[in-house]
Chains A and B, each alone.
Chain A
């Protein structure tokens, strides 16, 4: 058994036992295999388009696993792993993607643009940045209620350019809110590369500007993501402070299927393909 992890990747198993490791593997494999099925269904015209998280599953799944089930998560559009980790029934998710009356939004919203109070998931907004401020409000509610909980909100490297990123991090810091700001740095905002998005060496440097701590991690290693987020969550609750996590990853498919990947240098896809988070 041990040989497998060393053979597939030079893996630090971080004191997890085999059953736990298999649980991680299942958690990351499920969203990948669902999306592979969705790709087929899309080509058959059975579901509407969505925004693929293929190649980024370790972040959504690992981060969601690090949170308690009743702690609010504010995901974005590539975070199927959040929905599967929260164990939302897959059949109803398919109905959602079909725009069915029986989907989570009764046909009123597309793909992952919905939430569910039952699963403590607050649906995304296409403007991206405004998700961050909602997390502040949840963090404030936890703080006022003296609950030992933290809020987790996702954004991308593109979202960090929005004014909402600044406002939300600033407010969370000034008000000492237990909020985890997670940046999925996946290289492109639709076709805009990071070189046209920001000029700091690492987005995590922005944390210091808001007087909060942050860390940059390998977003394609689910154990790293989980381990980091678990620790960050404890920090946020114990010290009643926000925290910024920059997860380095790559978007392996188009912004959505129809727009393709022509603007991405093939070498980048090759490099990141070798770091596929699902290849243990």
Chain B
């Protein structure tokens, strides 16, 4: 090959580059800025793109609420994340968007046309019946038609959005709409197992990974018997490599597989943190690739297990756009939400409270059904105080309400922390005007901070008292059972209720 030949190759490539550049027409090509100011225009161009995106999201979701979930919020409803490209992800989404801004003055619990805080006295003591009516009107419609059915079998949908008994006691509201068919009493642990097993039967491409989940059946025996039923290829023991295994879930997703990874304890998720918050959460926003996986998070305190086996860390993930975070408190929801999480093409953090595994039982439909992600559940209707909570807090609230029949409690189980069900929160606030947000996680920067801030910002006119937060102490979780009892929010619940009733 002569120098002349080499020169020709160079010329050919140079011409190719120039012709491709010419195809980047001058109106999209940023005009030669040679100064710092002009250089900034390049980035302003990026910012404009972002602003447009926010506008699209605002339009699609009808206002505030979904902005934090740009890029990965379309799971329930479209079921096609990753295939639809970057723009469509901001389209009309999953029906969990909050009401339009105008709703602040005209939505549930507020007379239409008002909105000025000065008018609050006109509705601060609305008859409960009127409020209940508006809540009923605001109640979410069943989403059966919107649920993605990944394979072919039909998915029943539990639409018990209006109320149900998680465990026991008489409820003044209608029974849950559960899928037709037999219902049996199950512990929360068994419900998680059943949801997982039915999902494995439903999705041939679903892979389970986790430490000791195969022969041993998992630290909490959730996957006991799975190895025999589904084989070692799909039920995989892993080395102690949390980060690599979360990475594996993403790699599997690239090739069209679904996966559920079991963190042995939610505390250990820190060892896979980057993979979750930077890879899983952002990949669809960045270049339209889905991360079709569920991370199971056995969480919570109450059993004297000390700082590294007791933490509540859901708030870390609630603060991460691109993830979904669910946290069931009842066996029925545990099964339905796990199935929904697995069917959802987005990355979902699924929290399951270790203390509730064997202490909580309830009716669970035997069918394969979804509990919709992004929908809170009205646990009971009341008139005096609203408790907004999730996880173990739901049971603390019910127990407290049962022991204090002189106070009428409205209790809302959030069930999904990201995206939050703002509509249900607004309705629950409107019923009593006195709100306590209760959770097991520590106080500062917790889920309650976000919920309370949102209520203050959007439901101020509905309030008759400051929104209070009852949470655990801002310390690590202590080992000694008495110290742990003192640490947990439950030990201070009575004081917070007393403060609210005084208003």
Residue B14 at the A interface, CB < 8 A?
Answer: yes
Interface residues in B237-293 (C-beta closer than 8 Å to A): 238-239, 241-257, 259, 274-275, 278-279, 283, 285-289
Contact with A along B10-38 (1 / 0, CB 8 A): 10011011001101100011101111001
- Min Cβ gap B171→A in Å is 45
With a cutoff of 8 Å between Cβ atoms, the chain A residues found around residue B483 in the complex are none
A22 in the interface (beta carbon within 8 A):
yes
Min CB distance, B480 to chain A, in Å?
33
A66–chain B nearest beta-carbon distance, Å: 20
| B406 contacts the other chain (CB 8 A) | no
Please classify the interface of chain B as helix (H, G, I), strand (E, B), loop, or mixed, using the class held by over half of its residues: helix
Q: How far is the CB of B50 from chain A (nearest CB, A)?
A: 7
A26 an interface residue at 8 Å Cβ cutoff?
Answer: yes
**A1, A47, A141: most-surrounded residue (chain B CB, <10 A):** A141
1/0 contact trace for A147-177 toward B, CB 8 Å?
Answer: 0000100000000000110011011001100
Taking a contact as CB atoms under 8 Å apart, the answer to whether B49 and A107 are in contact is yes
A99 at interface (Cβ–Cβ under 8 A)? yes
CB distance B287 to A123 under 8 Å? yes
B9 within 8 A of partner (CB)? yes
Contact of B87 with A106 in the complex, beta carbons under 8 Å: yes
| Chain A residues in 8 Å Cβ range of B169 | none
> Shortest CB–CB separation between residue A98 and chain B, in angstroms?
6
Q: Check B21–A91 contact: CB distance below 8 A.
A: yes
- Whole-angstrom distance from the CB of A50 to the nearest CB of chain B? 13
Asked if B287 and A101 sit within 8 Å, CB to CB, the answer is no
Complex contact A107–B247 (CB within 8 A): no
The answer to whether A30 touches B13, judged by C-beta atoms less than 8 angstroms apart, is yes
Please name the residue on chain A nearest to B42 by beta carbon: A48
Task: Enumerate chain A residues within 8 angstroms of B474, measured Cβ to Cβ.
Answer: none
Chain B: interface residue total (CB-CB under 8 A): 64
**In contact, A116 and B287 (Cβ under 8 angstroms):** yes
- Interface residue A194 (Cβ < 8 Å from any Cβ of B): no
Residues in A whose Cβ lies below 8 Å from that of B289: 115, 117, 122-123
Residues of chain B contacted by A268 (CB below 8 angstroms): none
Given contacts A29-B13, A164-B247, contact A90 B86 (CB under 8 A): no
**Nearest B residue (CB) for A1:** B1
| Chain A 125-137: CB-based contact to B (< 8 A → 1; otherwise 0) | 1010110111111
Q: CB of A4 within 8 A of chain B? A: yes
CA–CA, A149 to B45, complex, Å?
Answer: 41
Instruction: For B49, give the chain A residue with the smallest CB separation.
Output: A107
Known: A45-B39, A109-B286, A170-B241. A137 touches B49 (CB 8 A): no
Residues on B with C-beta less than 8 A from A45 are 30, 32-35, 38-39, 42
The answer to whether B24 and A95 have CB atoms under 8 Å apart is yes
| Whole-angstrom CA separation of A33 from B20 in the bound complex | 13
Q: Of B87, B242, B248, which is in contact with the most chain A CB atoms at under 10 Å from its CB?
A: B248
B475 at the interface (CB under 8 A from A): no
The B-contacting residues of A in range 84-109, CB under 8 angstroms, are 89-91, 94-95, 98-102, 104-109
Contact of B13 among A1, A26, A132 (CB under 8 A): A26
Q: Which of A46, A72, A133 contacts B275 (CB 8 A)?
A: A133
- Chain B positions within 8 Å of A125 at CB level: 274, 278-279
Is A250 an interface residue when CB atoms closer than 8 A count as contact?
A: no
Give CA–CA (A136, B39) in the complex, Å: 40
| Residue A9, interface by CB 8 Å | no
By size class, the interface of chain A is: 35 or more
Contacts of B24 on A, CB cut-off 8 Å? 91, 94-95, 98
Q: Within 8 Å of chain B (Cβ to Cβ): is A114?
A: yes
Is B2 engaged at the interface, CB distance under 8 Å to the other chain?
yes
Residue from the list A5, A90, A105 in contact with B286, Cβ < 8 A: A105
Q: Does B233 contact A (CB under 8 A)?
A: yes
The reply to whether B287 and A171 form a contact with Cβ atoms under 8 Å apart is no
Contact between B253 and A137 (Cβ–Cβ < 8 Å)?
A: yes
Beyond A89-B20, A140-B251, is A168–B244 a contact (Cβ under 8 Å)? yes
Q: Are A134 and B247 in contact (CB under 8 A)?
A: yes
Supposing A113-B286, A117-B254 touch, asked if A133 and B42 sit within 8 A by C-beta, the answer is no
- A171 and B239 form a contact (CB under 8 A): yes
Q: A22 with B20: in contact, given A134-B254, A144-B233 (CB under 8 Å)?
A: no
A245 beta carbon closer than 8 Å to chain B = no
The reply to whether A141 and B287 form a contact with Cβ atoms under 8 Å apart is no
Interface check A188, CB cutoff 8 A: no
Residue contact B87 to A164, C-beta cutoff 8 Å: no
Q: Are A132 and B247 in contact (CB under 8 A)?
A: yes
Query: Given A29-B9, A89-B20, A114-B286, do A137 and B249 touch, yes or no (CB 8 Å)?
Result: yes
Sampled A-B contacts (26; CB under 8 Å): A1-B1, A26-B9, A37-B17, A44-B33, A46-B29, A91-B23, A91-B24, A95-B28, A99-B45, A99-B49, A105-B287, A108-B285, A109-B286, A122-B254, A123-B286, A123-B287, A130-B243, A130-B278, A133-B241, A139-B251, A140-B207, A141-B252, A167-B241, A167-B243, A167-B244, A175-B236
- 10 extra A-B contacts, CB within 8 A, seeds A101-B49, A138-B252, A168-B244: A26-B9, A45-B34, A46-B29, A48-B42, A48-B43, A91-B20, A94-B21, A98-B29, A106-B87, A115-B289
- Name B's A-contacting residues (CB within 8 A): 1-2, 6, 9-10, 13-14, 16-17, 20-21, 23-24, 28-30, 32-35, 38-39, 42-43, 45-46, 49-50, 82, 86-87, 207, 233, 236, 238-239, 241-257, 259, 274-275, 278-279, 283, 285-289
- Nearest 4 interchain pairs by C-beta: A137-B251, A133-B247, A141-B255, A167-B244
